Amino acid sequence: MQAFSDLLDRLIYTRSRNAKLGLISDFLKSTPDPDRGWILAALTGELDFPNVKASAVRNMAMERVDETLFRLSRDFVGDTAETVALIWPEHSKTSLSEIPSVGQVVDELTAISRSDAPKLLTNFMDLMGANERYALLKLATGGMRVGVSARLAKAAFAQAFEIAVEEIEEVWHALAPPYSELFAWGEGRGDRPNLTGVAFFRPFMLAHPLEDKAVSMTDYAAEWKWDGIRVQIVGTGEDTKLFSRGGDDITQAFPDVAKAFDHDAVLDGELLVRGEFQGGEAASFNALQQRLGRKKVSAKMQAEYPAFVRLYDILFDGQTDLREQSWTNRRQKLEKFAPQLDTERFDISTVLKARDFDHLSEIRDGARDAAIEGVMLKRRDSSYISGRKTGLWYKWKRDPLVADCVMMYAQRGSGKRSSFYSDYTFGCWTEDGELYPVGKAYSGFTDEELKMLDRFVRQNTLNRFGPVREVEKTMVLEVAFDSIHQSKRHKSGLAMRFPRISRIRLDKPAAEADRVQTLANMVT
Amino acid sequence: MGMTKDAHWIEPHPHGIYIKPADAWIDPSRPVSRALVTHGHADHARGGHDKVWATPETLAIMGLRYGTHSGQAVRYGDGFELGGVKISYHSAGHVLGSAQILMEYQGERVVATGDYKRRTDPTCKSFEVISCDIFITEATFGLPVFKHPDTAIEIRKLLLCQKANPDRSILVGAYALGKAQRLIGELRIAGYHDPIYLHGALEKMCRLYQELGIDLGDIRSVMGSEKEAMRGQIILAPPSALNDRWSRRLPNPVTAMASGWMSVRQRARQRNVELPLIISDHADWSELTQTIKDVSPSETWVTHGREEALVRWCSLNQMKARALELVGREEEDD
């Protein structure tokens, strides 16, 4: 456990990507199985102990420390695990040999019931110092916050064992922690893991924003960017799984779609719900949200929000890997493949017939009222390459909507914004001259602007409600958002999608900020 | 003591604590005619007062920072009277010359601590426990998450890092008054007697400490030293210089920072610190609470920092306490 906590601490304080790669790679080489595999899983976010709840960790701390003191501390530190690790009463020094290994901790956390989890964690914590407690809680509850992405951790593995990172990515999702086969392969003690017959995730090809470029429609094909979630359908003929963009298995939430697919193939598409939006072809994202994140879906839910997939691409047809082929070839294969599928659950995303870029621009503007996010541009000769490679695929989103809102409340942020007031609730005026909250944003500003806003909050606090500060209603924020919907959550009856602060309007008097009615007119 | 006391003769205001019969202010944040100053940090000692009472060391520090002052030197343990209030200064253990101020009036005793710590510091006298009715304490680190480790452990971290990086300079951010000199003193205690290099902004204060009899060993200026000669050396600079252009003159520096805030990981990250050293000149949570127990006043007033938490602790322990809302105290001045 100590080696792990040292690694975490060194990663936190190391800025350079190369230095991080070096740290992780050395660690993976020098640490024995299974500990290194569990830690690799922790860094890539693959470790999950469903019976250990963040709330249980908080409650454990509050059994030892007064609730108010805990809350004030959490508010200051900005991270529950770190707060609990620091606040935990120290015990007389235990000998190093008593501190459990990562493998022991993982085994026990896996086996534990929800009701016994707090007791187990308590026992562990009593044996440890503050740094190990921090590592333990991060391991148990996830969210390392050490500035290491899953991709970086895999790259470190690749560096440690001199294997191309693409090869790691390829087998990664078919393996489970603690990855003993993977390490055996890396160290030359075993063969490349055999994946026949396993329905596993292949990393998605992603797009860059187009920004101010124009491209030739001879080189690029265009499609609508549908507003659902990206999904990969993996069938082995025996088994079918659906994966979300991050590689999460979401099959259970969409049995209607999975059951309708019994082919041996891998397809890429957009998961949507039937409805009247998006040019009359699909429901809004809000409807799809009803179906997301569920372990079980009732028949009623399936009938009310029938899901389907609009296909974009084909990666495998049987055992044939098509990813090296051009988009044009894959598109032909897809058009040949799709007709055998259940039309209720699958259709093909149309290729837009744009004469040139200006024409495409007109088509895109025409989509303004429909809840379509914009258009996608795909280079016709591009292979299917995992990740975001410049120049191959672009997303050309509709311009965001903007509104001038007034800051009403602020709360301290987490992570690298810990202790700064960085989460803002803002509102617009009603006809009666009252401010109603319309959304909350915590991004879009620079570090300098954050400092300025933080200072504004501290110097203009009217009231404190626990961690929330109510501020003078004088700061106008221009908020950009992708769309706006009806919602019961806010008093204004509105909820924004992807709101972010686009400008700080120091020049604008609060009274001239937008009205709730103006926003209501933008609802899709 | 222990009787109902209300100390109506002491008034907390946003910009300082006012002692009515003496017509004097403790650490006022704006110019006044009579100021009782606890120590030399800028958020406690400001320029522009007509008359100042402070320890000889604090007056020397204020002289260095604001030019000459019409100051009245008060030694530790010495007393004087102002408008019928008996006033005396006692060591606070925060930085050189730092004092708690004891005031006695109509049978009531009030102590204002300024800033303080309880652990030993080779550059200043230790905190003295003074019994009183009303104890006015700071609370910079007044949350139970703050448990400063043994200073020796943090100094060892610094020396290990230096040993592991013979090709890099070790650049340590430390506040110019107190922290920098204490760090040097602690390094000397740990047996480190090599030259320690200083950013220009720290030099004058270190020289003043030496003049006031604090032994800092071999200290030198970075200015004029060869870049190559800085490899493997420990260099102290004010925190603002860590990520500044100035640090580019050093060979691939390891950025360290000595501050009590370094115990919170994301705080250290915000400052781009590679080597956080948890060394503070303020009392941590256990020192604050232990001090209240030691002093055992009938009422505790909390001036600045995490006052809400310390007041909560007092009430959980059946002690009377209230938070004073003072302005202008810099959180970062550790």
CB of A192 within 8 Å of any CB in chain B?
A: no
B160 neighbourhood in chain A, CB within 8 Å: none
In angstroms, rounded to a whole number, what is the distance separating the alpha carbons of residues B160 and A48?
A: 36
Interface of B with A (CB under 8 A): 143-147, 263-270, 272-276, 306, 308-309, 312-313, 316
For the cut 80, the answer to whether the pLDDT of residue A212 exceeds it is no
In angstroms, rounded to a whole number, what is the distance separating the alpha carbons of residues A327 and A308?
A: 23
Q: Specify whether B158 is located in the same domain as B33.
A: no
Tokens 């915590």 sit on residue: A442
Q: Specify whether A242 is located in the same domain as A389.
A: yes
Domains: count for chain A: 3
Q: Specify whether B58 is located in the same domain as B134.
A: yes
Beta strands at B16-19 and B10-13: parallel, antiparallel or unpaired: antiparallel
Judge whether A348 and A356 are in contact, CB under 8 Å.
no
B263 neighbourhood in chain A, CB within 8 Å: 86
For the cut 60, the answer to whether the pLDDT of residue B328 exceeds it is no
B314 neighbourhood in chain A, CB within 8 Å: none
Domain range for B272 is 151-277
Nearby residues of A364 by Cβ (< 8 Å), 6 or more positions away = A374, A375, A396, A398
Mean pLDDT calculated for residue range A238-267: 92
Whether B49 is in a domain gets the answer: yes
Q: How far from A341 is each of A257, A308, B258, CA to CA, in Å?
A: 11, 11, 65
Q: What is A237-255 written as a DSSP string?
A: SS-EEEE-TTS-B-GGG-H
Q: Nearest by CB to B275, from A13, A86, A418: name it.
A: A13
CB count within 10 Å of CB B290 equals 14
Coil, helix or strand at residue A70: helix
Q: Specify whether A131 is located in the same domain as A209.
A: no
For the cut 90, the answer to whether the pLDDT of residue A116 exceeds it is yes
CA distance A7 to chain B (A): 13
Order of strands across the sheet that contains B134-139? B79-82, B85-91, B99-105, B108-112, B134-139, B299-305, B321-323
Tell me, what DSSP letter sits at residue B333?
Answer: -
Domains: count for chain B: 2
CB of A82 within 8 Å of any CB in chain B?
A: yes
Q: Summarize pLDDT for B190-240 with one digit per residue, the tens.
A: 999 999 999 999 999 999 999 999 999 999 999 988 999 999 999 999 998
Whether B1 is in a domain gets the answer: no
B309 neighbourhood in chain A, CB within 8 Å: 68-69, 72-73
Q: Specify whether B189 is located in the same domain as B116.
A: no
Domain range for A298 is 205-397
Q: Please give the single-letter amino acid code of residue B299.
A: E
Mean pLDDT calculated for residue range A274-295: 78
Nearby residues of B28 by Cβ (< 8 Å), 6 or more positions away = B15, B16, B35, B46, B49
Q: What does the longest C-alpha to C-alpha distance in chain B come to? A: 67
CB-based contact A72 B143, cutoff 8 Å:
yes
Q: Please give the single-letter amino acid code of residue A382.
A: S
For the cut 80, the answer to whether the pLDDT of residue A372 exceeds it is no
Instruction: Encode A482-492: b = buried (16+ Cβ within 10 Å), e = exposed.
Output: bbbbeeeebeb
**A98-A104-A106-A108 Cα dihedral, nearest 10 degrees:** -90
In angstroms, rounded to a whole number, what is the distance separating the alpha carbons of residues B93 and B110?
A: 19
* Burial group, residue A89, by CB count within 10 angstroms (0-12, 13-18, 19+): exposed
B165 neighbourhood in chain A, CB within 8 Å: none
pLDDT class of B2 with cuts at 50, 70, 90: very low
CA distance B268 to chain A (A): 8
Q: Specify whether A232 is located in the same domain as A321.
A: yes
Q: Specify whether A387 is located in the same domain as A249.
A: yes
Whether A199 is in a domain gets the answer: no
CB of A87 within 8 Å of any CB in chain B?
A: yes
What's the predicted TM-score (pTM) here? 0.78
Whether B328 is in a domain gets the answer: no
CB-based contact B312 A76, cutoff 8 Å:
no
Q: Specify whether B22 is located in the same domain as B140.
A: yes
Which residues, in sequence order, are bridge partners of residue B198?
B221, B236
Q: Specify whether A351 is located in the same domain as A443.
A: no
CB-based contact B266 A415, cutoff 8 Å:
yes
CB-based contact A66 B267, cutoff 8 Å:
no
CB-based contact B276 A76, cutoff 8 Å:
no
Q: What is the mean pLDDT of chain A?
A: 90
Q: Specify whether A355 is located in the same domain as A415.
A: no
CB of A286 within 8 Å of any CB in chain B?
A: no
Mean pLDDT calculated for residue range A180-198: 92
Nearest chain A residue to B264 by CA: give it.
A77
In angstroms, rounded to a whole number, what is the distance separating the alpha carbons of residues B211 and B277?
A: 28
- CA gyration radius for chain A? 26
More confident residue, A504 or B285: B285
Structure tokens at A129: 């110092």
The pLDDT assigned to A69 comes to 95
Q: Nearest by CB to B144, from A73, A415, A416: name it.
A: A73
Q: Which of A423, A403, A399 has the alpha carbon at shortest distance from A411?
A: A423
In angstroms, rounded to a whole number, what is the distance separating the alpha carbons of residues A2 and A102?
A: 9
A79 neighbourhood in chain B, CB within 8 Å: 265-266
The pLDDT assigned to B332 comes to 45
What are phi and psi for residue B49, nearest 5 degrees?
A: -80, 150
Q: Specify whether A384 is located in the same domain as A268.
A: yes
Mean pLDDT calculated for residue range A114-135: 93
CB pairs under 8 A between A and B: 71
Q: Specify whether A338 is located in the same domain as A381.
A: yes
Judge whether A122 and A59 are in contact, CB under 8 Å.
no
For CA atoms A353, A356, A362, A367, the dihedral sign is positive
Structure tokens at B159: 């020396």
Mean pLDDT calculated for residue range B123-147: 97
Structure tokens at A18: 């190369």
CB of A62 within 8 Å of any CB in chain B?
A: no
Coil, helix or strand at residue B15: coil
Point out the least confidently predicted range of B42-46, B52-56, B156-160: B42-46
CB count within 10 Å of CB A238 equals 9
Domain limit, last residue, from B260, B277, B294: B277
Domain limit, last residue, from A87, A108, A141: A141
The CATH code of the domain that includes B89 is 3.60.15.10
In angstroms, rounded to a whole number, what is the distance separating the alpha carbons of residues A392 and A394?
A: 7
Nearest chain A residue to B328 by CA: give it.
A459
Q: Summarize pLDDT for B25-43 with one digit per residue, the tens.
A: 999 999 999 999 999 999 8
CA distance B51 to chain A (A): 31
The pLDDT assigned to B5 comes to 60
In angstroms, rounded to a whole number, what is the distance separating the alpha carbons of residues A422 and B266?
A: 14
Q: Please give the single-letter amino acid code of residue A174.
A: A
Point out the least confidently predicted range of A364-373, B75-84, B176-185: A364-373
Q: How far from A207 is each of A69, A287, A376, B292, CA to CA, in Å?
A: 46, 25, 8, 60
In angstroms, rounded to a whole number, what is the distance separating the alpha carbons of residues B200 and A435?
A: 52
Which one of B161, B266, B288 makes the best mutation probe of the A interface by having the most chain A beta carbons within 10 Å? B266
Structure tokens at A220: 């690029």
Whether A162 is in a domain gets the answer: no
* Burial group, residue A272, by CB count within 10 angstroms (0-12, 13-18, 19+): buried
Nearest chain A residue to B275 by CA: give it.
A13
Q: Nearest by CB to B267, from A68, A130, A419: name it.
A: A419
Q: Nearest by CB to B265, from A12, A15, A90: name it.
A: A12
Nearest chain A residue to B147 by CA: give it.
A86
Q: Specify whether A52 is located in the same domain as A107.
A: yes
The pLDDT assigned to B1 comes to 42
Q: Specify whether A246 is located in the same domain as A269.
A: yes
Q: Specify whether A337 is located in the same domain as A223.
A: yes
What are phi and psi for residue B216, nearest 5 degrees?
A: -115, 0
CB of A148 within 8 Å of any CB in chain B?
A: no
The pLDDT assigned to A490 comes to 77
Q: Specify whether A320 is located in the same domain as A390.
A: yes
Judge whether B50 and B57 are in contact, CB under 8 Å.
no
Q: Nearest by CB to A418, from B143, B267, B274: name it.
A: B267
Q: Summarize pLDDT for A464-512 with one digit per residue, the tens.
A: 887 889 999 999 999 999 888 888 777 888 989 889 998 888 878 898 8
For the cut 70, the answer to whether the pLDDT of residue A308 exceeds it is yes
For CA atoms A409, A412, A413, A414, the dihedral sign is negative
Q: Summarize pLDDT for A21-38 with one digit per residue, the tens.
A: 999 999 999 999 999 999
B145 neighbourhood in chain A, CB within 8 Å: 73, 76-77, 83, 86-87
Mean pLDDT calculated for residue range B275-286: 97
Q: Nearest by CB to A87, from B144, B265, B267: name it.
A: B144
Nearby residues of A441 by Cβ (< 8 Å), 6 or more positions away = A423, A424, A426, A477, A479, A499, A500, A501
Judge whether A439 and A404 are in contact, CB under 8 Å.
no
What are phi and psi for residue B197, nearest 5 degrees?
A: -95, 150
CA distance B168 to chain A (A): 15
